[in-house]
Structure 1
Amino acid sequence: MNAKILDTPSGPIRFPAYVPVTTFGGKYPLDGLIQPYLPRLAPALMVSHHYARQMREKPRLPVMIDSGGFAALFEGSKVLARKGLGILEIHLGEEPELLTPWDVLEFQEQHADIAFTLDFPIPPNLPIRDARRRQKLTIANACWALENRRRREMRLFACIQAWDSESARDCARQLAERPFDGFAIGGLVPRAWDWELLSSIVLSVRNEVGSRPLHIFGLGKPELAAKLFELGVDSVDSSSYVKAAADGVSWATGSKVPDPSVSDRLALALSNLALATGSTLPLSVGKLFPTRC
C-alpha cells in the first residue's frame, strides 16, 4: 500500500504528488516569476544540485534536491571511480568540474528537505559492461550517503538506475535492505515511449521497496503521471509544465498561443501546473491570462 503522507522539516507532503522542477540563478527567468506561486500550487519543488547552489533564500515549501547526476549524459562527462564510490567529471567550461557524493550530501544537508543520492543515468544502448558499472557506483554512492548523513530529519531517497526489469529488481533489492526513507528511479525519460518496459521497471522496484515512498524523475506529462500513480508511484517531478508554457501551449485547452509574451508564458505555466497538481489558481492569477488564450 502506498504511503499517504511523508513528513519533512518544512511540512508534510501528501501523495500522490506532482512536483514541479524549478531553477535558480537567472538562466531561466520564467522560473523566477513562477516561484512566488509555488507554495499555493505545489506540494514541494525539485531543484538539481547545480541550480540549488544558486538559491539565495529557501522557498516556503518542502525542497527536494537532486544530485545533478544527469550531467553524466552531457558530452565529455566521465563517470569515475574513487575508493569504490562514483564521481562525475563534467566538462562545461575551461576547467572540468567534479561532482562527488560527499560534496552533494554536505550541500543537501544544509538546504534540502528531501535529498537524492548521486546516481549515474544509464542511457539506452549503453554497453552492458558500462551499464553495470554505473549501476554499481550508483548503489555504492547511496549506501555511502546513508552511512554518512548527519542531519537525520532530512529525508534521504536512494536512487535506482536500471535498463530493464531484472536490473531494476536487483538494484532495488540491494537498496531496500537498508533504512532509506524512500527511493527514486532515474533514467526513464528516454524509455517513456515503451510503456511495457516502463511499467515493468516500476513494478519490479515497487515489489522490492514495499510501502516506502517511490519517486520517478522527469516524467511529468499529466496523462503519464496519472498512469504512474495508478501503478503505485508516489511522486513524480517535471519541468514539462513550464517548457510547454514557454512554447505557448496550454494543457487545459490543448491550444497554442502564437508568439507568447512573458505574461502569456507565466499565465500558461501556472495554469499547466495547477492542472497537473489538481490545485486552484489564486484569483490574482486570473488577471494574467490573455484573452486570446
Structure 2
Amino acid sequence: MFQTMTFLDYNLTPDNLAEWREKPLKQHFEESDVEPGFTQPLFVDSGGFKLMNSTTFGQPPEDGGSENDWGIYTNPESILKLQLDYGADIVATLDFPIPQNLNREEATERMEWSIDNAVECLQLLNDDEKLEEWDVDGTPSVYVAIHGHSYEDVNWYVSRFLDRAEELDEAFEGFALGSLVPLSNSPNVLVDIVQGARDAIPEERYDDIALHVFGISGRLCPLLSLLGVDTFDSSNYLKAARNKSFIHPETWRRTKLSDWDEGDCDCQACQDIYFDDMRHALLESDVSYKRIEGEHGKHYKSEYYAQIAHHNFELYSRQMQEVRDAIDDGELLEIVAEFAQGKNIVEKGLKRAQLHNPELREQLADIGYEELVAGPDAETFQTKLSGFLEGVEDTTREKRTISLKHGPNDFSILQQNSYQPPSEADVLLILPCSQEKPYSDSRTQQAVLSLLEEYRDRFHKISVSGLYGPVPEEFEEADPVMSYEYVLTTADDDQIELVANRLAQYLDQFGERFDHILAYTTSKAYRRAIDEAFTRYGRGEIYPSDPRALQLTEHFRSENIDEFVGRFTSSL
C-alpha cells in the first residue's frame, strides 16, 4: 500500500478539515479532474502516532478534557467517526505507540490502553443505534493496531486482545504491527516481533486473521511475507525522492541523482525520464516555483521529484508482484534465499527466523542454500523460547529510558535560581530541541555546532524544548530533559504560547548580556514560538532568513547553514 499522511501534516484548519469530512474522500476525487478517480480500498490509520504528544487533541470535555476547535479527541469514538467520514474501507484502531526505551511501566500501560481502544472500536461498530445516529451505510473492516518491542510483548498483546474480543470479531479483520520503522535496521528484533504476533494467532485462524506491518518496505518484505505478513505500507519511495535519491533495483541502496546510472534500471518510470533535463533542474538550477527550460520543454522541479518517486514506487510494486507470484508457485523460500545473498540485513533476519522455526534450516539445505543455514545456537534459542517468561533477549533496550508522563512543570529554567549564563559569551545561540538526547549530540544540532567549534567560548547555547521552553546547555542531562519525549506541532496553539512566553521571559532576564541573539530552525512550530518571543522581547534574528520550505530537510541544506554561520561569524 502506498502511504500518505494525517490531517496534521497538511496545515489544515478546523474549517478545512470540516469540508473534507462532509463527504467520503473517494467522492471528492470522483468529482475532481483526476481520472479514473480513486477506486482502490482506502485504509485509514488512527493517527495515534501524531496524536501521541499533542496537547490539543486530548480527552473530550465529558471525560475531563478540554474542548478544541477541531472536534477531534484522542478516544475511540472520535477517531472512528473521523475514519468513517473519510469513507474508510479498512480502519486501524486508535493506538498508543511505544517509543524506543519507554520505561516498562508506561509501555505496559499503553499496551493496555490500546487493547481497550480496540475492543471499544469493535463495540461501536456492533452498536446499531450508534451507527444509525452517524448515518453509516456499511461498516469497514478493522485492523487492530498492536505495539511491542519484544517477542513476549507482542505475543501477550495479541493473545490478550483475542481473549477479550471473542464475541466482537465480526468486523475484525487482522492485526497491524506498529512502532517498527525504527527497527528496520534491526532484523533480529523485527523478526522476533512478527513471529511473536504470528505465534499468538491460533493455527486454525491463520487464514482468517491478516497481519499488516506499518511503514516497512523494500528488502525485508519477502522475508516478512515468509513469516506470515500479508500487507505492507510505506512512504520510503517518497522520502527517497525528496532527497533526489533513486532506489537501486539490485542493491536496494539509495543512490543520489548525481551518481545514478540511468542504464541500471529498465522500469517504465525511467523510460519516461529525460535525465539531462532532470539533472539540470534539480542539481544546477536555482529557480523555484517556476517552469525550468530544458532540452525537452519546460517543467517544474516537482515533476522531476515525482518521476523519481515513480521509479521507487515501481521498484516496490515489482517486488510485491514477485512475492505474490512466488507464493502462488510455492517458491517463496527460494526468493527469500536469493534475496538474502549479499544483503547482510536480510541474511541476519533469515537466520533469526530459523531460530524460531528450525524446519527452515532443513528446507534451505534441501534447496541448496547451506550457507544461509543458522548455526548451532538454534537449539539453545529454542530452549529459551519455550521458557516464555524468560523470553528472548531484548536487544532494543538502552540505558536511557523515557517517560511520556512529563509535563511543562517538570522543568523550567525560570525556576532554577542558581543559573547564570557565562559572562564571556557574546552570542546567544538558539536551536530547536531534538529527539536524541543530550541535544548537543544530535545530528540536527551537530549540523550547526560542528561548524562553530572554533568559536566555542564566544556563544552560549540554549535549546528550545517543545515541552519545557528554553533549556541551557548546562541542563541538557538533567533527568526531566533526558527522559521526556515530545514534539511540538502547529496545531498545539496553547503549547506554542507557553514556549514563546518562557523564552520571552528568559530573554527579559538575560538577553541584555548578549550582543547578538541568533536562532536557527526550519520547523514551523518552533520557528513560530521563537519569532513570537523575539517580537515580545524586541530583539533577535531567525535563520535561514528565507527557507524554501519549513521542514526538516531544509535544516540540513548547506546554503541555509552557510547563511547562518556567515551571520554568526560576522557578529563576532
Q: TM-score, normalised by structure 1?
A: 0.69
What is the rounded CA distance, in whole Å, between the counterparts of 1:78 and 1:187 in structure 2? 21
Given that 2:43 and 2:89 are in contact with CA atoms closer than 8 Å, whether structure 1 keeps it comes out as yes
Identify the residue that residue 274 of structure 1 maps to in structure 2. 314
Q: Does residue 22 of structure 1 match 2:13?
A: no
Deviation at 1:251, TM superposition (A): 1.4
Report the secondary structure of 2:28's partner residue.
coil
Given that 1:115 and 1:155 are in contact with CA atoms closer than 8 Å, whether structure 2 keeps it comes out as yes
CA offset digits 1:112-171 (Å, max 9, x no partner): 011000001111111111001100000000000011114654111111111211110111
* Matched length: 236
Given that 2:212 and 2:229 are in contact with CA atoms closer than 8 Å, whether structure 1 keeps it comes out as yes
Given that 2:147 and 2:178 are in contact with CA atoms closer than 8 Å, whether structure 1 keeps it comes out as yes
User: Aligned runs of 1:181-200 on 2, under 5 Å?
Assistant: 181-200=173-192
Deviation at 1:61, TM superposition (A): 1.0
Q: What is the one-letter code of the residue matched to 1:277?
A: S
Report the secondary structure of 1:163's partner residue.
coil
Report the secondary structure of 2:73's partner residue.
strand
Larger deviation: 237-246 or 19-28? 19-28
Q: 1:65 to 1:26 in 2, by over 3 A?
A: closer
Q: Does residue 246 of structure 1 match 2:242?
A: yes
Given that 2:72 and 2:79 are in contact with CA atoms closer than 8 Å, whether structure 1 keeps it comes out as no
What is the rounded CA distance, in whole Å, between the counterparts of 2:49 and 2:7 in structure 1? 19
Report the secondary structure of 1:183's partner residue.
strand
What is the rounded CA distance, in whole Å, between the counterparts of 2:106 and 2:95 in structure 1? 14
1:57 to 3, 23, 28: 28
CA offset digits 1:98-122 (Å, max 9, x no partner): 3221011112223101100000111
Identify the residue that residue 255 of structure 1 maps to in structure 2. 255
Given that 1:88 and 1:99 are in contact with CA atoms closer than 8 Å, whether structure 2 keeps it comes out as no
Identify the residue that residue 155 of structure 2 maps to in structure 1. 169
Report the secondary structure of 2:256's partner residue.
coil
What is the rounded CA distance, in whole Å, between the counterparts of 2:90 and 2:55 in structure 1? 29
Identify the residue that residue 45 of structure 2 maps to in structure 1. 66
Given that 1:248 and 1:264 are in contact with CA atoms closer than 8 Å, whether structure 2 keeps it comes out as no
What is the rounded CA distance, in whole Å, between the counterparts of 1:53 and 1:241 in structure 2? 28
Deviation at 1:252, TM superposition (A): 3.9
Q: Which runs of 5+ in 1 are unaligned?
A: 1-18, 29-48, 281-293
Given that 1:123 and 1:190 are in contact with CA atoms closer than 8 Å, whether structure 2 keeps it comes out as no
Q: 1:26 to 1:256 in 2, by over 3 A?
A: farther
Q: What is the one-letter code of the residue matched to 1:223?
A: R
Identify the residue that residue 210 of structure 2 maps to in structure 1. 213
Q: What is the one-letter code of the residue matched to 1:185?
A: L
1:112 to 77, 83, 88: 88
Q: 1:230 to 1:276 in 2, by over 3 A?
A: same
Given that 2:59 and 2:75 are in contact with CA atoms closer than 8 Å, whether structure 1 keeps it comes out as no
Give 1 or 2: higher helix fraction.
2
Given that 2:59 and 2:73 are in contact with CA atoms closer than 8 Å, whether structure 1 keeps it comes out as no
Given that 1:72 and 1:88 are in contact with CA atoms closer than 8 Å, whether structure 2 keeps it comes out as no
What is the rounded CA distance, in whole Å, between the counterparts of 1:273 and 1:145 in structure 2? 33
Identify the residue that residue 104 of structure 2 maps to in structure 1. 128
Deviation at 1:74, TM superposition (A): 3.9
Q: What is the one-letter code of the residue matched to 2:144?
A: A
Q: 1:279 to 1:172 in 2, by over 3 A?
A: closer
Larger deviation: 155-164 or 176-185? 176-185
CA offset digits 1:85-109 (Å, max 9, x no partner): 9x999xxx99996322101111222
1:138 to 108, 114, 122: 114
Q: Which runs of 5+ in 2 are unaligned?
A: 11-16, 30-37, 126-130, 132-136, 259-281, 284-300, 321-572
Report the secondary structure of 1:57's partner residue.
helix
Relative contact order higher in (CA < 8 Å, ≥ 6 apart):
1
Q: What is the one-letter code of the residue matched to 2:227?
A: L
What is the rounded CA distance, in whole Å, between the counterparts of 2:179 and 2:61 in structure 1? 23
User: Aligned runs of 1:92-107 on 2, under 5 Å?
Assistant: 98-107=73-82
What is the rounded CA distance, in whole Å, between the counterparts of 2:211 and 2:95 in structure 1? 16
